[in-house]
Amino acid sequence: MIALCGIIGYIGNQKASEILVKGLKHLEYRGYDSVGVAIANEQGIDIRKDKGMIDDVSINLGFVSMNGHIGLGHNRWATHGAPCKENAHPHFDCTKKIVLVHNGVIENYLRLKEELAAKGHRFVSDTDSEVIAHLMEEQSKTDKPFYAFIKSLKKLKGSYALAVMFADDKEHIYIARKGSPLIIGVGKGEMFCASDIPAMLNYTKTFIPLEDGDVATISKNGYKISDIEGKAVERKSITVDWDLEMAEKGGYPHFMLKEINDQRHFINETIATDVSAAKELVDKCDKIDIVACGTSYHAGLLLSYLLMRKGRNARAYIASDYQFIANPDENTLVIAITQSGETADVLQALKFAKEKKTKIVGITNIVASSITRIADALVYLNAGLEIGVAATKTFMAQLAVAYMLVYPKEKLENVRSIIAGMLEKENEIKEIAAKLKDAHDAFFIGRGISVPIAYEGSLKFKEISYIHSEAYPGGELKHGTLSLIVKGIPLIAIAPDDETAPKLMGNIKETKARGAIVISITDNPEIKKESDYVIELPKIDKDLYPFAEIVPLQLLAYHVSVLRGNNPDKPRNLAKSVTVE
- List contacts with ligand AGP (CB under 6 A): 293-296, 338-340, 343, 346, 389-391, 463, 577-578
Catalytic residue among 49, 97, 178, 576: 576
Closest CA to 519 of 458, 578, 459, 580: 458
The answer to whether 550 and 399 have CB atoms below 8 angstroms apart is: yes
In whole angstroms, the minimum distance from the beta carbon of 236 to ligand AGP comes to: 23
Q: How far is the CB of 553 from ligand AGP (least distance, A)?
A: 12
Q: Which is nearer to ligand AGP, 530 or 569 (CB)?
A: 569
Looking at beta carbons only, is 140 or 577 nearer to ligand AGP? 577
| Cα separation of the two ends of the chain | 6
CA–CA dist 50, 29 (Å, integer): 17
Cβ at position 13, least distance to ligand AGP in Å:
36
Question: Taking the complex as a whole, how short is the minimal distance between the CB of residue 296 and ligand AGP, in angstroms?
Answer: 4
The angle at the Cα of 245, spanning 75 to 27, to the nearest 5 degrees, equals 10
Question: How far apart, in Å, are the Cα atoms of 564 and each of 235, 388, 436, 438, 517?
Answer: 48, 18, 10, 8, 19
In the sheet with 34-41, reading across from the earlier edge strand, the strands are 44-51, 34-41, 70-76, 5-11, 191-194, 183-186, 206-209, 238-239
Residues in the chain: 581
Q: Which of 5, 193, 285, 293 is catalytic?
A: 5
CB of 489 to ligand AGP, least distance (A): 24
* Cα 177 from Cα 195, distance rounded (Å): 10
Smallest distance from ligand AGP to CB 298, Å: 8
Give helix 545-563 / helix 426-436 axis angle, nearest 10°: 50
- Return the residue nearest ligand AGP (CB atom): 294
- Is there a catalytic annotation at residue 462? no
Q: Cα(550)–Cα(541) distance, rounded to whole angstroms?
A: 16
Q: Answer for the pair 367, 353: CB distance below 8 angstroms, yes or no.
A: no
**C-beta neighbour count of 255 within 10 angstroms:** 24
Closer CB to ligand AGP, 139 or 577, in the complex: 577
User: Alpha carbon of 281 to those of 276, 288, 361, 376: distances in Å?
Assistant: 9, 10, 8, 9
Query: CA-based Rg of the chain, rounded to a whole angstrom?
Result: 25
What is residue 310's three-state secondary structure? coil
Rounded CA separation 25/18 (Å): 11
C-beta of 79 vs 343, nearer to ligand AGP: 343
- Residue 5 designated active-site: yes
Least distance (Å) from ligand AGP to the CB of residue 433?
Answer: 18
Question: Looking at the annotation, which residues are catalytic?
Answer: 5, 576
